[in-house]
Amino acid sequence: MATKLVLFVSVMVAALALPITKGTSVEVQVGPSFVPCNINGSLGVNVTATPAFPNAQVQLQCGAVVVATTTTNASGVFSFSLDFTQVFLSARVGLSNCNLVVITPLSTCNPMLPPVGVLTSSIVFVRTDVLGVRVVLIFRAAGFRYIPPT
* pLDDT, tens digit (0-9, with 9 covering 90-100), for 67-114: 889 999 999 999 988 887 766 655 555 666 789 999 999 999 989 988
Q: What percent of the chain shows pLDDT beyond 90?
A: 25
Q: Is residue 41 very low, low, confident or very high in pLDDT (cuts 50, 70, 90)?
A: low
Give the CA dihedral 149, 118, 51, 121, nearest 10 degrees: -130
Position 4 pLDDT exceeds 70: no
Residue 70's identity, in one-letter code, is T
Neighbours of 38 (CB within 10 A): 19
Position 16 pLDDT exceeds 80: no
